[in-house]
Chains A and B, each alone.
Chain A
């Protein structure tokens, strides 16, 4: 979710100056989409997990016993190595934590290692605890701003501080200094008995913390030499040992971290299937986090498994189990009790229970349960055995690492002691390797036997609990062969049921896999569609924004053109005005000059005339004339002067008026031009607004259609997905139905009549009987002459004719004849008919008796026999007569 800021504005147009602070929250929306996808994936995964969870209600007794049997081996190893393992792993963890912290502060792994080495050396030199020294370094580095050289001085100060009060708690000096640096002086006062006045004096004298502490240490008499002499060599040895173990255990720590993370995830999944596994999961999580000795974890696991066993017993049975228990209880308490239960619960099967049916029910329940439990136990046993294998492997790896460390320590120890330690280390490594190999082999053997043992257990239990049906004890005791055959039959039944259960599981797994793949494909398609749509929308918005910006820029350019033209026009108007005014002023000036010139000329001429007149008057000594002349001259001058001034004034007024007129005209032109420009600008803006309004409408329609198409596309995807899932379900149901039918048939062949199979057989029989009844009824109707043919939808039955009362045969076919009847062939029949003039039984009898009329045909020739002529004679005579008549006709 980035935050950005920016500034924009300016350009050739004035525009707006503005800045923005944008906080992008779109990533959160993308995260939501991811969460949505993850949610669906989890749902799909959890559907499988739920299946596993349903199976996870297994009998954990076997597993718990198996783990218990491993306990002794784990105990032997753990007691020997558990403490060292924890010590080493803790040290490795601390080393890793400090390395990471120092690397973060100093910026490089090399600097980090160098600083830690320096701190370790200094700590060993002064007998300070490594962990607290590293912690002090960790606290000081940010303050010192990465100055690692100063770190050493501070560690020395810590050693000096310890030398003041050597019996202080281990690590107290570094903690006190760390607090001192943070402005707290309580620890340094109380743990090392530093007088508070001294501390205050140091703080008053120095600003720097180092200088303050140096002042305090000096006043307390601490010296570096003394601190070195007081160094605790045991602490130094411990430091090195811890560091050595830390380095030695680092690879193991890393291996365990990665391996156990996977193991932890597996346990977390298992834990979700049953809350009782929380103990085991918590134990293992603690093991991962804190490197708790694994024996404790195994104990926790065993406790959890035992608890699961207790809790899971009823859950394992479930509903079917309760029915089975009720039936079984009914048998133990008497068949009548079962009947009562059945009557009370409305279960017809139980209400009509007999001894055999109860046994049959129990047998079915047990076989079903045991078959299910077999698969569950295989799964759980396999998973937990693998888990135990992981734990034990971790121990063996730990033992191996410890052996290497011990071997390393032995190699650096001098003399025979070192050799003995080396041999011990090698022996431990060999023991760990041997144990791991034998343990792996045992685990693999256990895993290989799990399924076989389960099946064997079912066979043994079923064989023990279910006597063969239909075989009495007497028969069984008297016939070993029969018992053997029955046992073989039971084995066949179990194998058949196991195969059926396996096939059902395969069908379900195949269907679940198909559902998963279909859903994944659906998710991909949906994500693609959404991404494509969002990309389209984003591009459209970008294009739209670009178009708007372009339009605004174009508008501003148009306005600028108008304003520029206005400025040019204004300048032109100003120039014209100035020129006009100059012309006007020039004309006025010219006229004023002419007036001035004329005025001066008239004045000079008048003065000349006046002087001449005065001279003339003086020559005449005419004082009156002189006075008159002077008066006249004065008047003339005054008139001329007034006239001149009036004309000048008039010119000036004219000039001012012209200027005013020109300026007024100029102002008017400017106003007109400005109005025109404003109108042009307003037109530009209005046109743009109209254009944008139309574009907005079109865009809104376009976006709405895109949204509709997108929604429709998503709905189509949803429908397709739903249909696909339904198709998978149908196919699975068909396969399951087919499998069930085959299973029932095979069970029937073994004499194991499944209730559903019996019910189906009864249905088949009932249907067959109904069809026979219909057929028989139809047949009866045909024989009784009812109906003219087969009814619609009924079989076409050819009922044989019968002639109990005689009569003509009109079609060829089967007939029912009766004793005493005589059947004539067609030739004889035809001859008799010819002879008798029609054939009937009565006519034939009469003809044979004689003296009776023979009617050949109605209205035809009648022959009257007379005398004692026999019918044969009459026939021959008639035949001869007919023949002669025909010959006559032919001639």
Chain B
């Protein structure tokens, strides 16, 4: 009989699946790391308050955290303790985190979909 597996489906599928998952995770992590500095710059550029000391604007930050093969998290944060008041007080007049989320989530998700399609 001429038919014979060069590699068994079990081996090939498992390796391919694991490689695929790792590739997805790594790609998304790379994408997130690419976005993080852009988000941070956007936060600093679009913070709506008037600087007094400049600390609040300068300590705005964005970082990427990875949970092993389960999630990639982009963190947007204030560095000053009164950042929460900026976000929540005055009806969110001086908020910058929430607008950043609204701005970036669709873009990131579109990129993720494009990444998966490619």
Give the interface of A toward B (CB within 8 A).
1, 3, 5-7, 9-10, 14-26, 28-29, 31-32, 35-36, 38-40, 42-43, 46, 50, 53-54, 56-57, 272-275, 315, 318
Q: Within B1-49, which residues are at the interface with A (CB < 8 Å)?
A: 1-5, 8-14, 16-18, 20-21, 24-25, 28, 32
| Inter-subunit contact A18/B78 (CB<8 Å) | yes
CB closest chain-B residue, reference A275:
B2
CB distance from A501 to the nearest CB of B (A): 18
A14 contact from B5, B24, B84, Cβ within 8 A: B84
In the assembled complex, 21 residue pairs joining A and B whose CB atoms fall closer than 8 Å, in A order, are: A5-B101, A7-B97, A9-B87, A9-B88, A15-B84, A16-B81, A17-B88, A18-B78, A21-B108, A22-B72, A22-B73, A26-B69, A26-B70, A26-B71, A32-B20, A32-B21, A35-B13, A39-B12, A53-B1, A272-B3, A315-B2
Tell whether A274 pairs with B71 under 8 Å between CB atoms, given A17-B78, A23-B28: no
B76 contact from A3, A20, A24, A35, Cβ within 8 A: A20
CB distance from A202 to the nearest CB of B (A): 37
CB distance from B112 to the nearest CB of A (A): 6
CB distance from A490 to the nearest CB of B (A): 30
Residues of chain B within 8 A of A14, CB atoms compared:
81-82, 84
| Inter-subunit contact A315/B1 (CB<8 Å) | yes
Tell me, in angstroms, the Cα distance from A19 to B88 when the chains sit together: 13
CB distance from B77 to the nearest CB of A (A): 3
Tell me, in angstroms, the Cα distance from A31 to B17 when the chains sit together: 8
CB distance from A58 to the nearest CB of B (A): 11
B71 contact from A22, A273, A315, Cβ within 8 A: A22
Residues of chain B within 8 A of A20, CB atoms compared:
73-76
Q: A17-B87, A18-B78, A50-B4 are in contact. List 12 more A-B contacts (CB 8 A).
A: A7-B98, A14-B81, A16-B83, A19-B75, A20-B76, A24-B70, A38-B13, A39-B12, A39-B17, A57-B1, A273-B3, A315-B1
CB distance from B101 to the nearest CB of A (A): 4
| Inter-subunit contact B104/A35 (CB<8 Å) | no
| Inter-subunit contact B108/A42 (CB<8 Å) | no
| Inter-subunit contact B9/A43 (CB<8 Å) | yes
Residues of chain A within 8 A of B83, CB atoms compared:
9, 16-17
CB distance from B6 to the nearest CB of A (A): 13
Tell me, in angstroms, the Cα distance from A273 to B97 when the chains sit together: 59
Residues of chain B within 8 A of A10, CB atoms compared:
84, 87-88
| Inter-subunit contact A32/B18 (CB<8 Å) | yes
Q: Within B55-109, which residues are at the interface with A (CB < 8 Å)?
A: 69-78, 81-84, 86-88, 97-98, 100-101, 104-105, 108-109
CB distance from B31 to the nearest CB of A (A): 8
B104 contact from A21, A22, A39, Cβ within 8 A: A21
Tell whether A17 pairs with B97 under 8 Å between CB atoms, given A10-B88, A32-B18, A43-B8: yes
B13 contact from A5, A17, A39, Cβ within 8 A: A39
Residues of chain B within 8 A of A22, CB atoms compared:
71-74
CB closest chain-B residue, reference A46:
B9
A19 contact from B24, B70, B81, B101, Cβ within 8 A: B101
Residues of chain B within 8 A of A18, CB atoms compared:
75-78, 97
Tell me, in angstroms, the Cα distance from A50 to B29 when the chains sit together: 41
Give the interface of B toward A (CB within 8 A).
1-5, 8-14, 16-18, 20-21, 24-25, 28, 32, 69-78, 81-84, 86-88, 97-98, 100-101, 104-105, 108-109, 112, 116
Residues of chain B within 8 A of A9, CB atoms compared:
78, 83-84, 87-88
Tell me, in angstroms, the Cα distance from A54 to B21 when the chains sit together: 35
CB closest chain-A residue, reference B64:
A21
Tell me, in angstroms, the Cα distance from A43 to B13 when the chains sit together: 10
CB distance from A300 to the nearest CB of B (A): 21
B101 contact from A21, A25, A39, A272, Cβ within 8 A: A21
Residues of chain A within 8 A of B108, CB atoms compared:
3, 21, 23
Residues of chain B within 8 A of A275, CB atoms compared:
2
**Among B17, B69, B76, B78: residue with most chain A CB under 10 A:** B17
| Inter-subunit contact A25/B3 (CB<8 Å) | no
A16 contact from B9, B20, B77, B88, Cβ within 8 A: B77
| Inter-subunit contact B84/A25 (CB<8 Å) | no
CB distance from B57 to the nearest CB of A (A): 13
Residues of chain A within 8 A of B87, CB atoms compared:
7, 9-10, 17
| Inter-subunit contact A25/B76 (CB<8 Å) | no
CB distance from A82 to the nearest CB of B (A): 35
| Inter-subunit contact B5/A19 (CB<8 Å) | no
Tell me, in angstroms, the Cα distance from A43 to B7 when the chains sit together: 10
B100 contact from A6, A19, A40, Cβ within 8 A: A19
CB closest chain-B residue, reference A276:
B2
**Among A6, A10, A25, A57: residue with most chain B CB under 10 A:** A25
Tell me, in angstroms, the Cα distance from A29 to B66 when the chains sit together: 14
Residues of chain A within 8 A of B76, CB atoms compared:
18-21
CB closest chain-B residue, reference A28:
B21
Tell whether A1 pairs with B18 under 8 Å between CB atoms, given A19-B77, A19-B98, A25-B71: no
Tell me, in angstroms, the Cα distance from A497 to B49 when the chains sit together: 94
CB distance from B55 to the nearest CB of A (A): 14
| Inter-subunit contact A19/B14 (CB<8 Å) | no
CB distance from A26 to the nearest CB of B (A): 4
CB closest chain-B residue, reference A2:
B109
CB distance from A319 to the nearest CB of B (A): 11
Residues of chain A within 8 A of B82, CB atoms compared:
14
Residues of chain A within 8 A of B10, CB atoms compared:
39-40, 42-43
CB closest chain-A residue, reference B23:
A28
Residues of chain B within 8 A of A54, CB atoms compared:
1, 3
| Inter-subunit contact A23/B112 (CB<8 Å) | yes
Tell me, in angstroms, the Cα distance from A28 to B109 when the chains sit together: 16
| Inter-subunit contact B25/A28 (CB<8 Å) | yes
| Inter-subunit contact A25/B75 (CB<8 Å) | no
Tell me, in angstroms, the Cα distance from A17 to B89 when the chains sit together: 12
Tell me, in angstroms, the Cα distance from A1 to B109 when the chains sit together: 10
